[in-house]
Structure 1
């Protein structure tokens, strides 16, 4: 029996008889493309910092505050977005978010004051992007896949890296030749172009088109009968209340706080300006970040595959430990020979967002697959709190101390601390987490 949600206003695909490719793969593909576009939008501030300094005379600390607002709202919107996926549907939520992004990014071309940037890029774009976070990846994976969940989550998470790869070098070149407003309009058009694809392809549940999730047994209960139906805000807040009483939640949130601080907040925002400080041209620095994106595409996909087969705690221990060592070596790579910065990009790039698939796996193990969207949304919110604080802290350090040395070294140290924390998550679980045994 098909579930009557908002997808019934469109022509539903026929039942799966005779079809070789499960519709879950089409849903995963449009999710990947949407997240890829959002990743391109979210990587833009790293390209804009220096041009905004030159045009308006704003300090790096001032610009970083607006970016921090964006990062914070990007995270805080996640659990509420996950609740809206249940209440009004994934497709409608995605459509609203893409509309906000199109309007917000376009409006940045009109800003002339720092508070304009904080309001437009910080609040409007932050809320729009926050409705399309890793909570979307977790929700789509949990609803549509029973086999290979870790691998699918890894590929969807890797969309961030692919977005950097596709957008950053061209945005940097366009900013240099045509100005930063042209770059902003380009990514606004990209968000607008994705909107009709989402409306045409996206579906909320496989059951709504007469299917079971990919790899699910025939007798699995209908998910649409189990979904939360209450007020989205109450659902999100009740998830937080549940988490606050869980030791595993605090450990997951603390480790992901460090993840955000050491990726989006520090490297994603400040690596290009740090390279410019050391005489490396902005386009070349953007190319370096894009190369890291290519490597992360490989690393995160591989991480998803590994999380289907090995203990996620051990994987996270390795990821945070290696990331901490690479960040502590970054100041020396920036001042050293060219090959040293390339070596950092390779070492760090493979590890960039590899933490997401095992973190989602541990969240599902601790709180149940049906709750993974909201619970991971709150854990991801801590990721973005870390990112926001790190973006502001690093910008302030650069403004008042003249370089990023303290910011890079401190970030490396807290990554090493996180490596110790993750080993204590879900201690009651058996070592080794086979893909099918824990689902």
Structure 2
């Protein structure tokens, strides 16, 4: 039995969308695919590094600058996403992020200059993935669910890891067979394809489809607590969490994710084999 409480007629549920379940699960399903795709795009720098270096003649250190810019923008995208979502909503933010990632991949695939490569592969793709990869899941879990909130948060966390798990070997195999430029073009097509169901099915809140949160009742909209961050930075727990996440990101994404495949090939491993191990 659906534990949500209807608060208005349900005509606002999109046509052809499932109506036999709480609509929040539809939003979760679409958002999980979007998070998986944008988080998976984070695999591109490490997965394509060997073929990029081979085909362009650019050095590993030169190409790694783009990856470093991408990581920084990925981090910047988190707090920026909260601001953007509060202004234009979850659906538009998600679609915008997916399209920005697609455009960045397409322009990166056609670039011949380093400054253009840094702009699109570094700033554009990094910001696009950061806009939803770390914030969207928590926002959906809190807006759409009272019961099962922990489950939903866990699902989104798993989708981020699954994106890397799937796209490291996927991009590496494509680059080995078709080149890194074609790999980015295929990635752009997949991102655009993901934007279609996001635009069609995602909704910003249960009220948009005439429902209350799963397991809860309608709550009055509260203004954001603008002093929350200032209070948080005064707490040592905040810096402990921030520091541990920074170490995790630098080591897993910045060092291992970026350089493992290239390092493994120097020791005689095939690129796809190294990607599968990673």
Q: Please give the TM-score of this superposition, normalised by the length of structure 2.
A: 0.89
Counterpart contact for 1:172–1:286, Cα < 8 Å: yes
Tell me if structure 2 keeps the 8 A contact 1:106–1:185.
yes
Work out whether residues 98 and 191 of structure 1, in 8 Å CA contact, stay in contact via their aligned partners in 2: yes
Task: Report the equivalent of 2:122.
Answer: 122
Structure 1 Cα separation of the partners of residues 43 and 113 of structure 2? 21
CA distance in 1, matches of 2:127, 2:173: 28
The equivalent of 1:362 in structure 2 is: none
Rounded Cα–Cα distance in structure 2 between residues aligned with 1:2 and 1:127:
37
Paired residues of 1:40 and 1:187 also in contact (CA < 8 A): no
Equivalent pair of 1:276/1:285 in contact (CA under 8 Å): yes
Deviation, 1:227, is 4.5
CA RMSD of aligned residues (A): 2.2
2:224 to 217, 225, 228: 228
Deviation at 1:122, TM superposition (A): 0.8
In the aligned structure 2, how far is the partner of 1:39 from the partner of 1:130?
8
The residue that corresponds to 2:26 in the other structure is: 26
- Which runs of 5 or more residues in structure 2 are unaligned? 1-5
Partner of 1:93: 93
TM-score by length of 1: 0.57
Q: For this pair of structures, how many residues does the alignment match?
A: 268
Other structure's SS at 1:228 match: coil
Residues 12 and 210 of structure 2 are in contact (CA less than 8 Å); yes or no, is this contact kept in structure 1? Answer: no
Q: After TM superposition, list the pairs within 5 Å mapping 1:188-207 onto structure 2.
A: 188-207=188-207
- Of residues 248, 266, 278, the one that matches 1:277 is 266
Question: Is there any run of 5+ residues in structure 1 with no aligned partner, and where?
Answer: 4-9, 230-234, 290-439
Q: In the superposition, relative to structure 1, how do residues 116 and 284 fare at CA in structure 2: closer, same or farther (>3 Å)? A: same
In the alignment, is the contact (CA less than 8 A) between 1:49 and 1:60 conserved in 2? yes
Match of 1:12 in 2: 12
Task: Provide the rounded CA distance (Å) in 2 between the counterparts of 1:187 and 1:114.
Answer: 21
Q: Distance in 2 between matches of 1:48 and 1:201?
A: 33
State the Cα deviation string for residues 38-68 of structure 1 (Å, max 9, x = none): 1221111112111121122222121111111
Matches of 2:124 and 2:101 in 1, distance apart? 7
Residue 171 (structure 1) shift: 2.1
Within 1, Cα distance between the matches of 2:112 and 2:122?
15
Correspondence 1:231-242 to 2 at 5 A: 239-242=228-231
The residue number in structure 2 matching 1:410 is none
**Residues 164/244 of structure 1: CA separation in 2 closer, same or farther (3 Å cut):** closer
1:132-171 paired onto structure 2 within 5 Å: 132-171=132-171
Structure 2 counterpart of 1:58: 58
Q: Check whether the contact 1:75–1:133 (CA below 8 A) recurs between aligned residues.
A: no
Alignment partners' CA distance in 2, 1:227 and 1:196: 31
Query: What displacement does 1:273 show?
Result: 1.4
- Ranked by relative contact order (alpha carbons within 8 Å, sequence separation 6 or more), the top structure is 2
* Structure-2 separation of matches of 1:133 and 1:239: 22
8 Å contact from structure 2 (residues 7, 212) kept in 1: no
Q: CA deviation at 1:283?
A: 0.8
Q: Distance in 2 between matches of 1:281 and 1:186?
A: 22
Runs of 4+ in 1 over 4 A off after TM superposition: none
Secondary structure in 2 aligned to 1:132?
helix
CA contact (8 A) 1:2 1:209 kept: no
